[in-house]
Amino acid sequence: MDPKILVKVGIGAFVVIMLLSMLNPFVIVGPGERGVVTRFGAVQETIKGEGLNLRVPIMEKVILVDVKIRKHESKASAASKDLQTVNTEITLNYQVNPVMVNKLWQEIGPDFESRIIDPAIQETVKAVMARFTAEELIQRRTEVKTQVQEMLDARLKTNYLLVDAVSITDFDFSGEFNAAIEAKQQAEQLALKAQRDLVRIRTEAEQKVAQAQAQAEALRLQKEQVTPQLIELRKIEAQMAAIEKWNGVLPQYTGSGPIPFISVTPER
């Protein structure tokens, strides 16, 4: 082949490569991303998926938007049903709706966290906290979290954002209310201890009464078994025991008259 032709082909290829490099008609959309297509600045209906995509150079631009689940933290303050101040910190896991990412970019823009999410959290917290007293907020925390999540999900869905999970990571009240709760808990503990002591004392008293009744019943039964014949038998047994112990010597006696009979009482 003629060397001149080879030179021309090489120059042409180089020019094409340079033009492709400058015009850049290829766009790579990474994992967990979507590409919003704009044509001369106007958002198009087409959404570029993951992988290698083509665009019309100069006319079209592809904006990459992350649609993976992300975390957003926001602090909020509200009043409970009984007008106690409640300070909370909400952790929201959410994602941009992948099939509506162009609408989000067109109607809200890239700063949707400050424009949509933060105000939604503030209003939701105020609305939900007002349904419960401060004590109920503590006792029914799971129910409170569920209501916050459901309300946020309904609100953000209209703005092309999907709620994955909501957590109440911080939940605090005023110092006065915390002191009142602590005092109430101490009073409940003391009342429970007093109740247990009362049950113990009552049980011990019932045991003593039962023991006394048993002893009285035993004495009654013993008394019923003591008959005149038994008493007479016990006397005879005592006299027999005294005779067995007698050594045969009569007691000394001075004076006139017959020797008196002395009854010997057995030792006890």
User: What's the pLDDT tens digit per position in 212-237?
Assistant: 787 777 776 666 666 676 677 677 77
Cα angle, residue 63 at apex, residues 61 and 114 outer, rounded to 5°: 140
Tokens found for residue 236: 């005879």
- Which tokens sit at 266? 């057995």
What the chain holds in terms of domains, given with CATH numbers, is 3-66 (no CATH), 70-178 (3.30.479.30)
Average pLDDT score, the chain: 81
**Prediction pTM value:** 0.60
Rg (CA), the chain: 51
CB 14 within 8 A of CB 22: no
What whole-number distance in Å separates Cα of residue 230 and Cα of residue 238? 12
Q: Give the model's pLDDT for residue 44.
A: 94
**Amino acid identity, position 209:** V
CA gap 170, 116 in Å, rounded = 22
Higher pLDDT, 208 or 12: 208
User: Helix crossing, 118-129 with 141-157: angle to 10°?
Assistant: 140
**What pLDDT digit, counting tens, does each position of 84-142 carry?**
889 999 999 999 999 999 999 999 999 999 999 999 999 999 999 999 998 898 889 99
The average pLDDT across 144-162 equals 96
| Residue 39, H or E segment | strand 33-39
